[in-house]
Every structure is written in structure tokens, then in C-alpha cells.
Amino acid sequence: MIMKNFALFSLFVLCALWADAQEPASYVNPFIGTTNYGATYPGAVMPHGMVSVVPFNVTPHKGNEYSNTDSWCSNPYVYNNEWMTGFTHVNLSGVGCPDLGSIIVMPTTGELNVDVNEYGTTISDEKARPGYYSTKLNRYNILAEVTATMRSGISRFTFPEGKANILIDLGHGLTNESGAHIKRVSDNEIEGYKLMGTFCYSPQSVMPVYFVVRIKRDNMQSGYWKFQDKLPGARHNWSSTSDTYKLYKRYNKELSGEKIGTYFSFDATEGEQVEVQVGVSYVSIENARENLDAEQTNLSFEQIKKQAYVTWNDELKVIEVEGGTYDDKVKFYSALYHLLLHPNILQDVNGQYPAMESDAILSLDNQDRYTVFSLWDTYRTVHPLISLLYPEKQLDMVRTMVDMYKESGWLPKWEIYGREAHVMEGDPALIVIADTYRRGLTDFEVETAYEAMLKHANTVDNHFLRHDNDFYLENHYIPFLKDYDNSVSQALELYVADYNLALMASEMGDKTTYKKAMQRSLGYRNYFDKEFKLLRPVTEEGKFMEGFDPVQGENFEPVHGFHEGTSWQYSFAVPHDVKGLMRLMGGKNKFVQQLNKCFKDSLFDMSNEPDMGYPYLFNYSSGDEWRTQKQVHDCINRYYKNSPDGLPGNDDTGTLSAWLIYSMMGIYPVCPGDMNYTLSSPVFDKVTIHLNKEIYKKEKIIIEADRKSVNDIYIKGIEINGSPYNRYFISHKDLIELGHIKYKLGAAPKQ
């Protein structure tokens, strides 16, 4: 358990609660990433859980530095904020746009007040561990504890004596969508739905979240509320409810509107514990109830809490680490924890899920349907890592993507609950499919997947995802057409996609596609400006854009040709042709010089995905591998911490965390589709990766480091299965089949 107030941290408490402090789950600190724009949350959630129960503290209020009315606040919880207004039950982790963060349950005491701007409280004694979160609500002297199953949440509130209230507020949250419906179905149960979506301002990407809320208590008074808009003229004065929150005390049928909610009030005895169950579904209210009943019937709060913890622990055990500091282990397992939040489960307990881009309700039997595919982010580290650690999950994710194609005619790019949000660049699904297939995970509908890849690559008119494919297919680059377009960023993504299409074509025996796609993948060379030794936007006429400034674009400053970054942050982002780039730059020395400048002059951005491979690129220059070891360790230590600011930016549904996991283990996938890992020095003395034997035919990979001190970060020698190894690259196949890397480390670079 991680306590927010670290001064209070007590080994005694820790040991008392969890006998085996060595369990991986005991190292997870859910507060990591909850500030510094990490956009993670400390709430209770299961691995890939549909439901997460998260303290919501971004309502605008004194004490809240960031709020959901701030433009960039995309998370339901910010560590340094002080004012909390309830527990949300659907949430996104580590994303860059606000959505979900809704279905809010808030306990209060005293006179009923349903105004979100007034009923909040400061909190203290926050504690979080996998599947559990608790805090004290200072103003009300309530202890709030929450835990979760896959598709439901449960809160336990311990009240002081006196009037107690439980508010279910559907009128605020993170999503930019609005509007909800509620209906009381019994004295202690309500059902309803709330519209979510418009993720990243994509107006047609909307979906309803259905819910059932059940309060495990009898003898309560209850009613609805709605904020009533101001009535015109004298009507405002005649009305007691105009321009205020109206309480519906006698009305119990359906209620719809924008700022609506339900309250339950009762007289609590001292220390009375009341539990609130919330079931969720993206299919129907009936399914939300079925999910709740299936996952919570006959289970106490304590049993659910324990089940969540045990499940997490079992998932995290896939990697065992030895050595390193306590903080290293916390950073590592917290990253693995964050890796396992998205994509998350979409189907209900009965197998039903909402189809991609339609209103159809489909059903699955023996497969998980995933959602929240942030593929531009996740193709680089998340999916290769899931393929290695949880190949059965990765297969279901790819099956999901292929099913989405079958349902909607297109593979996803940024998919959220059955809707494409059209966020970020390129065509990353092609990359994920090829990479997965090439890792030996071929048990999906490959022919259909390849058909989809070809459609994505070759369609010119009415392309759902690429609006510029015609010019690209002919000229192999995207032209700079107007100020602040993302032309180069878009093209760089298409190159990696084409590279992966070529690899997949090769697997499929399609030589024509292989040749064409591989040729296109090198089109980045059109952008290479020898003067700057950087990529530079190019016009339709094939000329470099005038007024190029290679550092324009820092800190989200508008920039021509690049998306959320500078030319420096994109110019090395051709992982499929690093040697080619090196030649363009004038050879390895010039390349290393230019790459070094990124780090020396702070032109590198750890939180921007195209840069994530930069620290590893020195490995392409023989003799410069020590620079990779140095930069990787520097990044691990500088940007990743066991503290709320322990992520360098949006975790991007586990992308930054996955980078950390690889990097702390000493291996990194050089380029999706390319089956090589490049090697660096691990943080731990020993890493054991337990493999899925059914799929990989091997039981484990062991990575060992022989070091005298934590400062020994430089590789003096490498042995594979006991034999000296001179390369800094190893294939996925060799890694699995040979299974044992041993690093000999020292405090100084190898001479």
C-alpha cells in the first residue's frame, strides 16, 4: 500500500497488512503519474477493468490547481489538488484529452446539498494499492474506501452519527459530452445512462455508458435533482426552482437532463458502514445490472478487495526482479501496473459488446473484446511488450482490431468504446498487426487482417483515416499545404506503417506489395534537408518549405509540419531505416553528433512518442553503445520517479510505462515489425520473464547483470547462454529460444 503522505509511511503498517512485502503488487504506487501531466489515477481498478473507482478532484474550486475547466486537464485526479467531489466509475488512464470521468458517487453528512460547487471536501490519509483506494473526507469525517471488479465498483463509507447523504451525480465529470437519464427502480437502486465521448473534440465519437447503482441499506429517503435554467422575466421570481438546483422529492419515474442526480439520505449510527455498488455496461442497463450481480453477488467488500489484489499480483508476477533499490522496484511494477490498464475489456459478462461504428450489439464467447486503442502511442512499446509478456491478451487485442475492421470496414487508429476518434497521425493498426504476427502470434484471422491492411494502404477516395493518401501513394510524402499542418508527422507514421505492410506482404508472399510499400517507407528521405541535417516540410512542388525553424514547436507551440513537437523531435523517428538516416546525415560520426545534440541541448522530449527510441539509436554506431547505456539510465532516473510526478508526461495508456519496463530490463524493441531488440544495461541484477509456454514453447527469459554498485551502468561484456556476445542487438526469436542474457557491468564506458 502506498500512502499519499509519505511521511506517514510505516513499514509496520505495510508488513501488518501484507505479510509478503515481496509480492509484486506490494510495490505498486498508484500515485505515480498523478501530477506533472502523467494523467494516471490512484483509484481502484482491475487489470483491463471496465470500471475504475477514482477520487474526482478536478472540480473548479479553491485548492484545485488544475480543474476540468482548464483546457489541458485530462484526468479525473490531480495529486496536488485539494478539493474532492466524489468517486467516478469510468475513467481513462494517461490520455491527453478529457473524457469519461463520470458516474460520480459522493457521501456527505448534514443538510442535503446537491450543488457540486458546494458539497466537496478536502481529503487526507489517502492510501492506494492495486484494486483499493481509501481516504478520509475531512469535512464530513467519513472514511471512504473503494474497490472494484472488472465491470463494477463498490464503495464503503464509514459515517459518523447523524444525517448522512449519498449523492449520485451525473451532471459533471470530465467528458465534454453531456446529458443523462436516471430512473429509480427500488428504494435503494437506480439505473440510467450518461452520454460520453467527443474524445479529443471528435464530434461524432459518442457513446452511452449504462449504469446501475445499488445502496446496501434500507430506510432511506431519496429523490432526484436537476439544475434548472433561469426562467425568463417574472417567471424567475414566481418559481422557487429557477436558476438553482431543484429537488424532486416526490417524483420517482424517469428523469433526463444535463445537471441531474439522485440523493439518498438517512440517519447514520456512529461508525455505520454503508456500501454503494455500481455496475456498468456499454451495451444496456440490463447488462449493467447483470454485470453487477454476476461479479458482486455473495462477495463482501473485503472479498472483492482481496480478489482485486490477488488478481493484480498474479498478473504482475509475469516478471520477477531482483536487485535494484526499493524505488526501482516501485517504478518497475507501477509501470507494469499502468501497462495493464488499457486497452480494457469492453464486453459484458454475457459476452455482449457494442459493435464498431454502429448500433449493433454483438457477442463473444471465448475471447475478450478490448477497447481504448491509442495506437499511435501504443504501437511502439505497449503492444510489443504485451506480445512478450501476455501473448494471449495481445492475440485478443489483434482479434478485436480485425473484428473492428469486419464490423466497420476499417481498422482502428484511436478507438474509444466502439468509435474512432481520429486522433493523432498515420495508420498504426498495420504496424501492430505485422509486429504481432512476426512475433509468432499468428492465431488470428490473418487473411482478413491483411485484406484490411491493403485496404488502408491503397484506398484513395473516402478513406476513413487517411485524407491524403492519393498524393502520398504517388509521391511518397505528404506535402506541406497550410500553416501548422502535420504533414511530416503524418508521413513519418505512414513510412513505419508501410514498412510493416512490406514485412507482412513478405510473410504473405505478396512480392508486389512488399516492393511498393518498402519503397514508400523510405520516402522520408524527401524531407531530409542536408543544410540542417533534419527533416523539413516539403511543398507539393517538392520544394522545402520556407521559414523553417527546427526548434519551433516546443511546449505545444504551433509549428509547421509537425504534430506537438519540433523537427528535432521527429528527425530521428525513422526506426525502420536508422542506417539509411545515418548515411543521409553523413555517416556515423555526424549522426552521433547530431543525436548527441538532442540530449545536450534539451531538444529531446521523453514524453513524446517519436523520441522514445532516441536514447537507443547510439547502438547503431559501433563504439557509441555506451552513450545509449548512459542516456537510458539518465532517462530512467531523471524522468521516472517513485512519486506523483514520476512520469514525464501523459502515460499515453501505458506507452511511457512500457518504455520504462523495457529500459529497466535492458532490452528495447528497435522498431515495431523489426524483430530485433537492442541491448542496454539493466537496472536490476536479475530479471526473470515468465513466458506463456503454450505460445512461446519456453518457460522464461533471464536477464542478469553482474555489477558491484548501482553506478555500474556500463556494459563491459555480454553473454548469451554463457557464450560471449559481441552484438548489441538480439532477435526476438533468439531472446526467447536462448533465454539467458548476462551483462557484465562497470562504472565507466567500455574502452
Can you tell me the distance from the alpha carbon of 716 to that of 210, in angstroms, rounded to the nearest whole number?
Answer: 57
Q: Name which of 12 and 238 has its Cβ closer to a copy of itself.
A: 238
Can you tell me the distance from the alpha carbon of 651 to that of 662, in angstroms, rounded to the nearest whole number?
Answer: 15
Select from 39, 260, 349, 736 the one that contacts a copy of itself (CB under 8 A).
260
Q: Does 556 bind a copy of itself (CB under 8 A)?
A: no
DSSP 460-499: -TT-SS-S-HHHHHHHSSPPB-STT--HHHHHHHHHHHHH
Q: Name which of 203 and 722 has its Cβ closer to a copy of itself.
A: 203
Encoded one letter per residue, x for contact with a copy of itself by CB under 8 A and - for no contact, window 178-207 reads xxxx-----------xxx--x--x-xx-xx
Residue 196 beta carbon to a copy of itself: minimum distance, rounded to whole angstroms: 11
- Measuring CA to CA, which residue among 357, 321, 355, 333 is closest to residue 685? 321
Sign of the torsion formed by the C-alpha atoms of 500, 506, 507 and 508: positive
Encoded one letter per residue, x for contact with a copy of itself by CB under 8 A and - for no contact, window 332-361 reads -------------------------x-x--
Q: Does 363 bind a copy of itself (CB under 8 A)?
A: no
Measure CA of the first residue to CA of the last residue in the chain; give whole Å.
44
Calculate ∠ Cα 653-88-271, nearest 5°. 130
| Number of residues this chain uses to bind a copy of itself (CB under 8 A) | 45
Q: Does 256 bind a copy of itself (CB under 8 A)?
A: yes
Residues 6+ apart with CB under 8 A from 355: 361, 362, 407, 408, 418
Chain length of the chain: 751
**Listed ranges 63-71, 294-302, 452-460, 584-592: which one lies at the site for a copy of itself (CB under 8 A):** 63-71
Q: Name which of 172 and 744 has its Cβ closer to a copy of itself.
A: 172
Select from 5, 235, 267, 539 the one that contacts a copy of itself (CB under 8 A).
235
Can you tell me the distance from the alpha carbon of 414 to that of 49, in angstroms, rounded to the nearest whole number?
Answer: 19
Residue 359 beta carbon to a copy of itself: minimum distance, rounded to whole angstroms: 5
- 66-85 residues near a copy of itself, rule: CB under 8 A: 69-71
- Letter string b/e over residues 283-304, b meaning 16 or more CB atoms within 10 A of that residue's CB: bbbebbbbbbbbbbeeeebeeb
In the three-class reduction of DSSP (H, G, I as helix; E, B as strand; rest coil), residue 550 is classed as coil
Select from 80, 113, 141, 239 the one that contacts a copy of itself (CB under 8 A).
239
Residue 92 beta carbon to a copy of itself: minimum distance, rounded to whole angstroms: 16
Q: Does 92 bind a copy of itself (CB under 8 A)?
A: no
Q: Name which of 177 and 328 has its Cβ closer to a copy of itself.
A: 177
- 140-179 residues near a copy of itself, rule: CB under 8 A: 176, 178-179
Q: Name which of 232 and 724 has its Cβ closer to a copy of itself.
A: 232
Q: Name which of 173 and 257 has its Cβ closer to a copy of itself.
A: 257
Q: Does 243 bind a copy of itself (CB under 8 A)?
A: no
Can you tell me the distance from the alpha carbon of 728 to that of 105, in angstroms, rounded to the nearest whole number?
Answer: 52
**Listed ranges 18-26, 101-109, 253-261, 603-611: which one lies at the site for a copy of itself (CB under 8 A):** 253-261
Select from 212, 255, 268, 339 the one that contacts a copy of itself (CB under 8 A).
255
C-alpha cell read off for 91: 475513467
Can you tell me the distance from the alpha carbon of 450 to that of 271, in angstroms, rounded to the nearest whole number?
Answer: 60
Residues 6+ apart with CB under 8 A from 382: 339, 653, 654, 655, 658
> What φ, ψ does residue 607 adopt, rounded to 5°?
-90, 0
Contact set with a copy of itself (CB under 8 A): 69-71, 176, 178-181, 193-195, 198, 201, 203-204, 206-208, 226, 228-229, 231-235, 238-241, 246, 248-258, 260, 357, 359
